[in-house]
């Protein structure tokens, strides 16, 4: 029976078989399995897990073993009796197979040790040969391979410490202490290999641990400064948003994204982190207050706009039943201008208010359109009546019966003037036809006189006044102002009477 040696303390446990003395090794005893390459592989420094070098190879004790082990060192045991483990050839791994870190080349045990005829295993060091154990299980090469695996385990542990020191993972002081322990125990280790070189590597780690610790501190400080700079930039961005941004939704979404990014930034001391968070939280609160004030003011403005538009709606509804077409049309246009000047109250509310306002206007303008349609129908009938009178007047022949033609023309003119308005487009042509008939009758009368006097200036003036009054009436009708239309119509009737009287006076 045997147990493995803890590389960290340099001691070994040797069983005392029941059928042999303490210095004898039986071939039936087993040998512990050597560590596999996977178990000895270098740990990923970035993984942050527990370091493999912190664990020594576990001692294996078969269930059948009942002996109490005792501790023996090569210094206290004679070379011929110093027994490390009893190993059976069946349990020993093939000769030449060693386990070492991935970065380590497999050592050649024959270069660093030997097994003499009585089975004592020696290792060569700078101070000479030193007995490290006894191999009584058969082939000496297998014995060297067994002790070489012990060396490879130590080399793996040293390599792991070197990797951690280089990668600045773990506690540098802890690594330094473990390296010092290895440097102290490796020279006396029960292993076959370059123990001097391995111990030198351990001592080198002790010498460089302080500088590595300083580098580690510098890297951590740089990483911390970078993380602090990231949070300072985020806090500054939040402060700028709080002071300037008016894109309320986009800015709010960005502040939420900053919070999520903030959670991913770690490695900052609590005091600095809390100070930066206070800056960010203050900026976010300031933005929230400014946004709240903006929307409160906007709500107040919309309330005022809603009240103003409701007043315009009420006024439009009052005017919607008016039949004073001209003034009411002007008032409706004024209401529309005032409506456009009032700010919006929001998409839904503004649309509903607009529908109410437009409905009131539509009532009025529909009624006015119906009135215009009826008036146009009446004017068309008046046009037809005047055209019939003009056709009758145009049939008069003053050359055969001048007085009869004059009398008939006066009667026709009286009936013509009594007819109401005609469409504006037909007014000029009708008046031109009537004037042509008048000139033809007047020309016939003038031709019968020996001397012809020029047209009475009074008649010409009255005729011009009638023409001007007709134009004023047309303009009044176009405006839709009933009062203006009434005044223009009365003025035209008066001037026509004056013209008729002037023409009668001029003919006497």
Convert the pLDDT of each residue in 106-156 to its tens digit: 567 888 888 888 888 998 888 888 898 888 877 888 888 888 898 899 999
Number of H helices, E strands in the chain: 12, 5
Backbone angles phi, psi at 104, to 5 degrees: -95, 140
**Confidence bin at 442 (pLDDT 50/70/90):** confident
pLDDT for the residue numbered 215: 75
Residue 72, pLDDT > 60, answer no
Comparing 185-189, 254-258, 373-377, 471-475, the range with the smallest average pLDDT is: 373-377
Residue 228, pLDDT > 90, answer yes
Query: Does residue 252 or residue 29 have the better pLDDT?
Result: 252
Query: If we measure between CA atoms, which residue out of 230, 275, 284 comes closest to residue 254?
Result: 284
Mean pLDDT, residues 420-428: 81
Helix (H, G, I), strand (E, B) or coil at 70: strand
- Give how far Cα 318 sits from Cα of 182, 194, 312, 315, 481, Å: 105, 112, 10, 5, 19
Report pLDDT digits (tens) over 466-490.
Answer: 888 888 888 888 888 888 888 888 8
pLDDT for the residue numbered 254: 94
Residue 167, pLDDT > 70, answer yes
Q: What is the DSSP string of 109-175?
A: HHHHEEE-TT-EEEEEETTEEEEEEE--SS-HHHHHHHHHHHHHHHHHHHHHHHHHHHHT-S-HHHH
Query: Does residue 5 or residue 193 have the better pLDDT?
Result: 193
Residue 236, pLDDT > 90, answer yes
Query: Does residue 282 or residue 10 have the better pLDDT?
Result: 282
Query: Does residue 452 or residue 67 have the better pLDDT?
Result: 452
Mean pLDDT for the chain?
A: 75
Residue 229, pLDDT > 70, answer yes
**Confidence bin at 56 (pLDDT 50/70/90):** very low
Comparing 21-35, 335-349, 478-492, the range with the smallest average pLDDT is: 21-35
Residue 21, pLDDT > 80, answer no
Helix (H) or strand (E) holding 71: strand 70-71
Residue found by looking up tokens 């960010």 in the block = 280
Mean pLDDT, residues 416-432: 83
Residue 366, pLDDT > 80, answer yes
With contact defined as beta carbons under 8 Å apart, do 227 and 188 qualify? no
Report pLDDT digits (tens) over 247-293.
Answer: 999 999 999 999 999 999 988 899 999 999 999 999 999 999 999 99
Helix (H) or strand (E) holding 14: strand 13-14
pLDDT for the residue numbered 127: 87
Backbone angles phi, psi at 252, to 5 degrees: -60, -40
Comparing 98-112, 173-187, 208-222, the range with the smallest average pLDDT is: 98-112
Residue 194, pLDDT > 80, answer yes
The 10 Å Cβ neighbour count of residue 163 is 18
Alpha-carbon gap, residue 497 to 490, rounded angstroms: 11
pLDDT for the residue numbered 283: 93
Alpha-carbon gap, residue 461 to 452, rounded angstroms: 19
pLDDT for the residue numbered 453: 55
Alpha-carbon gap, residue 480 to 372, rounded angstroms: 9
pLDDT for the residue numbered 16: 34
pLDDT for the residue numbered 342: 85
pLDDT for the residue numbered 360: 86
Mean pLDDT, residues 205-226: 80
Q: What percent of the chain has pLDDT over 70?
A: 77
Q: What percent of the chain has pLDDT over 90?
A: 15
The torsion region of residue 48 among left (phi > 0), alpha (psi -120 to 50) and beta comes to: left
User: In the structure encoding, which two tokens stand for residue 282, read together?
Assistant: 């203050």
């Amino acid at each position: 029976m045997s147990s493995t040696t803890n590389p960290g303390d340099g001691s070994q446990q040797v069983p005392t078989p029941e059928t042999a003395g303490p210095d004898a090794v039986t071939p039936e005893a087993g040998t512990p399995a050597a560590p596999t390459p996977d178990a000895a592989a270098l740990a990923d420094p970035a993984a942050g897990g527990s370091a493999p070098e912190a664990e020594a190879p576990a001692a294996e004790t078969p269930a059948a073993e009942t002996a109490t082990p005792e501790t023996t060192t090569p210094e206290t045991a004679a070379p011929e009796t110093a027994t490390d483990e009893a190993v059976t050839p069946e349990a020993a791994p093939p000769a030449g197979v060693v386990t070492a870190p991935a970065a380590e080349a497999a050592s050649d045990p024959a270069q660093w040790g030997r097994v003499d005829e009585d089975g004592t295993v020696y290792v060569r060091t700078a101070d000479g040969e030193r007995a490290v154990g006894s191999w009584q299980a058969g082939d000496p090469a297998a014995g060297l391979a067994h002790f070489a695996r012990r060396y490879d385990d130590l080399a793996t542990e040293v390599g792991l410490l070197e990797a951690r020191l280089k990668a600045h993972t773990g506690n540098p002081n802890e690594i330094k202490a473990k390296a010092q322990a290895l440097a102290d125990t490796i020279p006396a280790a029960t292993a076959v290999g370059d123990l001097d070189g391995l111990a030198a590597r351990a001592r080198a780690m002790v010498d460089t641990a302080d500088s590595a610790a300083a580098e580690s501190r510098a890297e951590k400080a740089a990483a911390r400064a970078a993380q602090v700079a990231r949070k300072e930039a985020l806090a500054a961005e939040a402060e700028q948003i709080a002071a300037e941004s008016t894109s309320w939704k986009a800015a709010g979404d960005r502040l939420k994204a900053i919070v999520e990014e903030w959670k991913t930034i770690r490695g900052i001391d609590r005091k600095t982190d809390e100070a930066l968070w206070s800056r960010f939280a203050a900026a976010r609160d300031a933005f929230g207050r400014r946004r709240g004030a903006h929307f409160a003011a906007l709500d107040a403005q919309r309330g005022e706009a809603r009240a103003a538009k409701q007043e315009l709606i009420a006024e439009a509804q009052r005017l919607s039943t008016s039949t004073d077409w001209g003034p009411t049309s002007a008032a409706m246009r004024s209401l529309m201008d005032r409506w456009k000047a009032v700010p919006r109250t929001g998409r839904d509310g503004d649309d509903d208010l607009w529908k109410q306002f437009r409905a009131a206007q539509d009532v009025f303008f529909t009624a006015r359109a119906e009135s215009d349609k009826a008036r146009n129908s009446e004017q068309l009938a008046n046009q037809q009546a005047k055209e019939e009178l003009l056709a009758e007047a145009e049939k008069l022949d003053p050359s055969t019966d001048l007085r009869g033609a004059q009398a008939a023309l006066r009667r026709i003119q009286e009936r013509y003037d009594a007819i109401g308005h005609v469409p504006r487009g037909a007014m000029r042509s009708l008046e031109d036809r009537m004037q042509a008939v008048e000139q033809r009758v007047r020309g016939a009368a003038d031709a019968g006189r020996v001397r012809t006097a020029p047209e009475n200036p009074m008649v010409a003036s009255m005729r011009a006044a009638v023409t001007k009054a007709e134009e004023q009436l047309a303009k009044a009708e176009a405006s839709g102002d009933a009062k203006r239309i009434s005044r223009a119509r009365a003025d035209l009737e008066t001037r026509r009477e004056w013209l008729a009287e002037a023409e009668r006076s001029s003919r006497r």
